[in-house]
């Protein structure tokens, strides 16, 4: 018996053991030779399965060249080891699905699609391959200057043509399962469930080239009760991106999302919210995962490890991130409340136990004047940076840019190397360990227009110039406790701005600082009180 025949029989036996009928695509006319178009044959097998009340559509080893195929309720689409559903390079083979626009980063053309279908499953050790590079062309852009590599992106070298995107799309499906398959070479977004309820995505592998423009990995959009686990994602754009928009005309909540035990690499964000943030995000957890790059050029590295963005008038409430390892991520943490269409709300974000090495850009938490990011906690965070920031960056006027695309590069160089916080209410920074490159001349922490601030147990390198360890500008109701400054610190805390007040220091070791407090720049007398224990 040939190996292919053995695998085919073994897979069929496994499918039949589940008790449901099995529909082999070869029995419905599929050639599986990678040359003949098998779209119609695969669709016939799906339709026959659905007409029988459900079962398994089976792809034995082979390469099945195809345009759009549409899954139906109660159908399991099983790709055997050695089986590939190969996307056609002819755009005419992708039947537009009503709802989304015909063109764009996400459009109406897909390789695998389901709509209004319950109990759909895509499973197996096989592969779905979109042949994405056929839908891109070189951008022929001018090469960036080496000093701008920190903000450049490798995908800028290519620009997309009209293309199928997302490669795999599900709309308004219940009890959706995607397990074990490899999704590769998407021409645009890879996998998007939209308005789906009870979604399990487990053990899948995504393999898109890092140069792929807009090749997001997984984009749950207005979905509820989503479980993403044990996934291995390498792509060009965001690895996992939660969105809130209405491509099919209705806007639901993105709610009850759990993401765990994943390994992510890309050159955009590891986990991000947005940028489409028209509605609500509630009850999201992300845990026990790795976000990394190998030792690649700066423009091919992850821009933000964790990016929580709200810019379109919606809301974020209840985000818990824990136990995350990052390696060579440009910016470990980026939290942004903006106003691209209207000001929304961002509150209740807790990030705990993150270890990040090889960072080059400052993590930040920013809102807008009068619109604060609220109730944000960073605890047990360890960040090591490699960039030696310069003293001239300390006094840069940082633009508000409320309507700009939210990304960690948006403000340029920031006046602190560890963490920059502006327009935040209810900020807790607990047990942060920040280690700078030896020659960084900026403060470790900069807080501006922050109220209800608690800083406890901070450990951070001393600036390599006469800069304070912590700078506070217009900060109200703050407590700094259990902190110990290193040798070489000119001032432990600098306080400025007429809005500063009610700043208390309790139980700190500031003995090695040249000055404990430096009150200046219009800060009122008595803005700072040191409490001895």
Task: Read off the pLDDT of each residue in 291-302 and give the average, rounded to a whole number.
Answer: 96
In-domain check, residue 6: no
Residue 18 has pLDDT above 80, yes or no: no
The CA-atom distances, in angstroms, between 215 and each of 86, 136, 184 are: 17, 11, 10
Of the pLDDT bands very low, low, confident and very high (cuts 50, 70, 90), residue 20 is confident
| Angle subtended at Cα 224 by Cα 223 and Cα 228, rounded to the nearest 5 degrees | 85
Mean pLDDT of 19-43: 96
233-252 residue pLDDT tens: 999 999 999 999 999 998 99
Opening angle at CA 468, ends 464 and 469, nearest 5 = 80
Could you tell me how far CA 108 lies from the centroid of its own chain?
23
Instruction: Say what the pLDDT of residue 12 is.
Output: 57
Spatial contact of 450 and 480, defined as CB atoms under 8 Å apart = no
Q: Do the domain assignments include residue 444?
A: yes
Cis upstream peptide for 304 (omega within 30°):
no
DSSP assignment letter at 157: G
366 pLDDT more than 70? yes
- Quick one: average pLDDT of 275-297? 97
- Domain span at 327: 303-533
Query: Using CA atoms, how far apart are residues 142 and 153, in angstroms rounded to an integer?
Result: 13
Mean pLDDT of 142-154: 93
* pLDDT tens readout for residues 34-67: 999 999 999 999 999 999 999 999 999 999 999 9
Whether residue 10 is predicted with pLDDT greater than 60 in this model: the reply is no
Comparing CA positions, the residue from 213, 101, 205 lying closest to residue 159 is: 213
Reported residue count of the chain is 533
Q: pLDDT at position 5, please?
A: 53
Between CA 41 and CA 48, with CA 42 as vertex, the angle to 5 degrees is 90
Q: What is the pLDDT of residue 7?
A: 47
Q: Is the peptide bond before 275 cis (omega within 30 degrees of 0)?
A: yes
For residue 2, the model assigns a pLDDT of 56
Q: Kindly give the residue spans of alpha helices, DSSP state H, lying in 253-322.
A: none
pTM: 0.95
Beta bridge partners of 156: none
d(C-alpha 253, C-alpha 37), whole Å: 39
Which pLDDT does position 438 carry in this prediction? 84
Q: Rounded mean pLDDT of the chain?
A: 95
Q: What is the C-alpha to C-alpha distance for residues 132 and 163, in angstroms, rounded to an integer?
A: 8
Task: Output the pLDDT for position 296.
Answer: 95
In a domain, 449, yes or no: yes
The pLDDT-based confidence of 356 (bands split at 50, 70, 90) is very high
Which helix (H) or strand (E) element contains residue 252? none
Q: Using CA atoms, how far apart are residues 283 and 226, in angstroms rounded to an integer?
A: 11
267 domain-assigned? no
Which residue, 375, 361, 458, 457, is CA-closest to 415? Answer: 361
Give the rounded percent of residues in the chain with a pLDDT score beyond 90. Answer: 93
75-106 pLDDT per residue, tens: 999 999 999 999 999 999 999 999 999 999 99
What mean pLDDT is predicted for residues 495-512? Answer: 96
On whether residue 158 sits in a domain, the answer given is no
Q: Is residue 126 part of a domain?
A: no
Taking CA atoms, 113 is separated from 84, 95, 326, 455, in Å, by: 16, 10, 34, 49
Q: How far apart are CA 184 and CA 393, in angstroms?
A: 42
Summarize the confidence of residues 106-126 as an average pLDDT. Answer: 98
- Phi then psi for residue 65, to 5 deg, are -70, 130
How confident is the model at residue 1, as a pLDDT? 47
Closest to 407 (Cα-Cα) out of 303, 526, 499, 259: 303
Quote the number of domains for the chain.
1
Distance from C-alpha of 505 to C-alpha of 426, rounded to nearest angstrom: 17
Q: Token pair of 529, please?
A: 């009180």
Does residue 335 fall inside a structural domain?
yes
Tens of pLDDT, residue by residue over 183-226, are 999 999 999 999 999 999 999 999 999 999 999 999 999 999 99
Residue 343 belongs to some domain of the structure: yes
């Amino acid at each position: 018996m040939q190996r292919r025949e053995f695998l085919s029989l073994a897979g069929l036996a496994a499918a039949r053991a589940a008790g449901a009928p099995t529909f082999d695509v070869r029995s419905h006319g599929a050639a599986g030779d990678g040359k003949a178009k098998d779209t119609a044959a695969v669709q016939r097998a799906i339709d026959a399965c659905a007409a029988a009340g459900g079962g398994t559509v089976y792809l034995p080893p082979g390469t099945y060249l195809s345009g759009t195929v549409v899954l139906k309720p109660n159908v399991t689409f099983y790709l055997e080891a050695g089986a590939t559903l190969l996307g056609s390079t002819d755009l005419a083979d992708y039947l537009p699905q009503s709802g989304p626009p015909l063109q764009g980063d996400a459009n109406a053309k897909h390789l695998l699609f389901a709509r209004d279908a319950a109990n759909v499953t895509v499973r197996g050790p096989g592969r779905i391959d979109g042949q994405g590079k056929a839908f891109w062309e070189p951008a022929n852009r001018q090469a960036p200057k080496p000093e701008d590599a920190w903000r450049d992106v490798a995908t800028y070298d290519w620009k997309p043509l009209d293309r199928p995107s997302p490669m795999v799309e599900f709309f308004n499906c219940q009890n959706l399962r995607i397990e074990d398959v490899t999704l590769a070479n998407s021409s645009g977004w890879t996998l998007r469930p939209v308005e789906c309820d009870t979604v399990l995505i487990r053990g899948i592998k995504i393999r898109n080239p890092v140069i792929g423009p807009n090749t997001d990995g997984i984009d749950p959009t207005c979905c509820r009760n989503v479980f993403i686990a044990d996934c291995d994602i390498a792509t060009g754009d965001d690895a996992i991106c939660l969105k809130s928009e209405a491509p099919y005309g209705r806007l639901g909540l993105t709610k009850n999302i759990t993401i765990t035990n994943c390994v992510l690499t890309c050159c955009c964000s590891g986990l991000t919210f947005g940028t489409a943030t028209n509605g609500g995000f509630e009850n999201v957890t992300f845990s026990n995962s790795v976000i990394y790059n190998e030792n690649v050029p700066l423009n091919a590295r992850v821009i933000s490890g964790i990016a929580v963005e709200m810019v379109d008038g919606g809301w974020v409430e209840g985000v818990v991130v824990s136990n995350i390892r990052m390696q060579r991520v440009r910016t470990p943490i980026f939290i942004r409340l903006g106003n691209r269409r209207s000001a929304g709300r961002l509150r209740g974000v807790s990030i705990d136990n993150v270890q990040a090495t090889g960072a080059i850009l400052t993590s930040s938490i920013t809102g807008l004047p009068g619109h604060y990011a609220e109730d944000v906690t960073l605890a047990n965070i360890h960040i090591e940076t490699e960039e030696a920031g310069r003293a001239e960056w300390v006094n840069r006027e940082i633009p508000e840019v409320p309507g700009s695309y939210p990304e960690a590069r948006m403000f340029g160089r920031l006046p602190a190397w560890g963490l920059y916080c502006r327009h935040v209410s209810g900020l807790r920074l607990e047990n942060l360990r920040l280690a700078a490159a030896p020659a960084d001349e900026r403060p470790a922490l900069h807080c501006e227009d922050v109220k209800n601030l608690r800083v406890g147990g901070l450990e951070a390198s001393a600036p390599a110039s006469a800069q304070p360890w912590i700078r506070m500008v217009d900060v109200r109701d703050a407590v700094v406790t259990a902190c110990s400054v290193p040798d070489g610190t000119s001032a432990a805390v600098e306080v400025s701005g007429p809005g500063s007040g009610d700043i208390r220091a309790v139980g700190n070791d500031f003995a090695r600082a040249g000055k404990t407090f430096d009150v200046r720049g219009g800060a009122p007398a008595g803005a700072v009180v040191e409490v001895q224990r």
